[in-house]
């Protein structure tokens, strides 16, 4: 490191370094780590945060692939940042957070495929932006974005509606686009080279495409909102007031609550009707299962009970006890007759004939 007046310069390019050295002077103002193997990991970011007086940082020709959030935080005095000729393919939204004094940013010769102007919103002092030789097809930019010079050549720009806001910004702002003649469209016309600043982009087609996209998004959002609203709220057109008017009922199909009530009423009514029809059938079905065949022991008990009843019953007037003969026979099993009926042995056939 060399000290000259108030500037402290440390140049360590081509040293095959994989990490930023931690033995550098803390008051360094210009640090060059060009042509090394620095990947800007968490340890490197912690070391950079200690260089609060740093105004120029050169990390070009290294092995950086991703710029994570807060990669250069605490470098509030940094004015120039060169991270060109790396392998950067992704830049997080807050990658340059805290660089309030940054004026020159060089991201050229990387592999960036998508970039939004929101990445640079925190860079209030940015005047020069170099995005040359990346893989950008479009660049969404806001009209409030202020620059003096921008480099966009060497990218496969697609001159369609995606690039319309960039074209408007280039023509309406005071920014100077370097290499304008070589900053051309690669699609849809590959034979004739048109500058992205003057290429013909049909605004009507853009409006139609934008409207269709908005309608699609709006319809999808409306369906989601409507389904959630129907599940949670019930809206009535009028509210009952002091004049006795009643609130109008919600239209059929406008409320899941109303539909659920109708469905519950129909199901409950159907269940009650079905129960009223089926209950007598189930009752007779259960009663029929209570009949069973008499066993031998049950027959003996039945004979005993019947004989007791006969002995205890008073004699019938006008009849002779001698003439009445009751014959009991022990039946071991029921034998069906040919006519399909079961003969009852308890009834005396002689008594039947006399009667």
Say what the pLDDT of residue 159 is: 85
Residue 320, phi then psi, degrees to nearest 5: -100, 130
- Give me the mean pLDDT over the 93-99 stretch: 92
The yes-or-no verdict on residue 343 having pLDDT over 80 is no
CATH 3.80.10.10 placement within the chain: 1-135
Say what the pLDDT of residue 160 is: 86
How big is the chain, counted in residues? 355
Tally Cβ neighbours within 10 Å of residue 231.
11
Q: Tokens 């360590």 label which residue?
A: 12
Say what the pLDDT of residue 55 is: 95
Q: Tokens at residue 278, please?
A: 């089926």
Q: Which residue has the higher pLDDT, 269 or 314?
A: 269
Model-level pTM greater than 0.75? no
Q: What is the mean pLDDT of the chain?
A: 75
DSSP secondary structure code for residue 151 in this structure: E
**CA–CA distance, 127 with 105 (Å, rounded to integer):** 8
Name the residue among 95, 105, 100 with its Cα closest to residue 77.
Answer: 100
pLDDT tens across 183-197, in order? 988 877 655 678 888
List beta partners, residue 2.
9
- Give me the mean pLDDT over the 297-302 stretch: 56
Say what the pLDDT of residue 214 is: 47
- Give me the mean pLDDT over the 121-133 stretch: 92
Output the CA torsion sign for 182, 119, 79, 70: negative
What separation in angstroms does the CA of 256 have from each of 94, 224, 227, 263, 266? Answer: 45, 14, 9, 10, 15
Contact between 94 and 70 under an 8 Å Cβ cutoff? The reply is yes
Contact between 31 and 53 under an 8 Å Cβ cutoff? The reply is no
Residue 117 three-state SS: helix
The yes-or-no verdict on residue 125 having pLDDT over 70 is yes
Contact between 36 and 11 under an 8 Å Cβ cutoff? The reply is no
Helix residue ranges, H only, the chain: 42-48, 164-172, 203-232, 256-288, 296-312, 349-354
DSSP secondary structure code for residue 66 in this structure: E
Name the residue among 346, 332, 338 with its Cα closest to residue 293.
Answer: 332
Q: Tokens at residue 100, please?
A: 């309030």
The yes-or-no verdict on residue 252 having pLDDT over 80 is no
Say what the pLDDT of residue 117 is: 82
**CA–CA distance, 315 with 324 (Å, rounded to integer):** 10
Contact between 157 and 185 under an 8 Å Cβ cutoff? The reply is yes
Count of helices and strands (H, E) across the chain = 6, 13
CATH of 1-135, one of 3.40.50.150, 3.30.360.10, 3.80.10.10, 3.30.565.10: 3.80.10.10
């Amino acid at each position: 490191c060399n000290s000259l007046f108030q500037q402290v310069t440390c140049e360590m390019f081509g040293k095959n370094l994989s990490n930023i050295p931690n033995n550098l002077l803390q008051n360094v103002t210009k640090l060059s780590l060009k042509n090394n193997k620095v990947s800007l990991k968490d340890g490197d970011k912690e070391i950079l945060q200690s260089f609060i007086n740093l105004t120029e940082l050169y990390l070009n020709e290294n092995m950086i692939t991703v710029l994570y959030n807060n990669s250069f935080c605490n470098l509030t005095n940094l004015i120039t940042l060169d991270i060109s000729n790396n392998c950067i393919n992704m830049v997080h939204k807050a990658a340059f957070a805290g660089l309030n004094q940054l004026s020159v940013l060089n991201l050229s010769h990387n592999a960036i495929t998508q970039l939004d102007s929101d990445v640079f919103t925190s860079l209030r002092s940015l005047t020069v932006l170099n995005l040359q030789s990346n893989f950008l097809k479009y660049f969404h930019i806001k009209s409030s974005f202020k620059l003096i010079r921008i480099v966009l050549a060497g990218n496969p720009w697609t001159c369609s509606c995606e690039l319309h806001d960039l074209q408007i910004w280039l023509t309406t702002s005071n920014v100077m686009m370097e290499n304008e003649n070589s900053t051309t469209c690669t699609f849809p016309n590959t034979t004739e080279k048109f500058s992205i600043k003057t290429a013909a982009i049909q605004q009507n087609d853009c409006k139609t495409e934008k409207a269709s996209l908005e309608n699609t998004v709006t319809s999808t959002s409306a369906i989601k909102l409507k389904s959630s609203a129907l599940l949670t709220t019930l809206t009535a057109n009028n509210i009952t007031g002091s004049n006795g008017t009643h609130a109008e009922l919600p239209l059929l199909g406008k409320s899941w609550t109303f539909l659920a009530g109708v469905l519950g009423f129909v199901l409950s009514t159907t269940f009650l009707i079905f129960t009223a029809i089926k209950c007598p059938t189930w009752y007779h079905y259960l009663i029929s299962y209570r009949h069973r065949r008499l066993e031998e022991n049950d027959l003996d008990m039945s004979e005993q009970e019947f004989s007791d009843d006969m002995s205890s019953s008073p004699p019938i007037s006008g009849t002779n006890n001698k003439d009445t003969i009751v014959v009991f026979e022990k039946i071991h099993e029921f034998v069906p007759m040919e006519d399909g009926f079961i003969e009852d042995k308890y009834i005396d056939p002689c008594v039947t004939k006399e009667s």
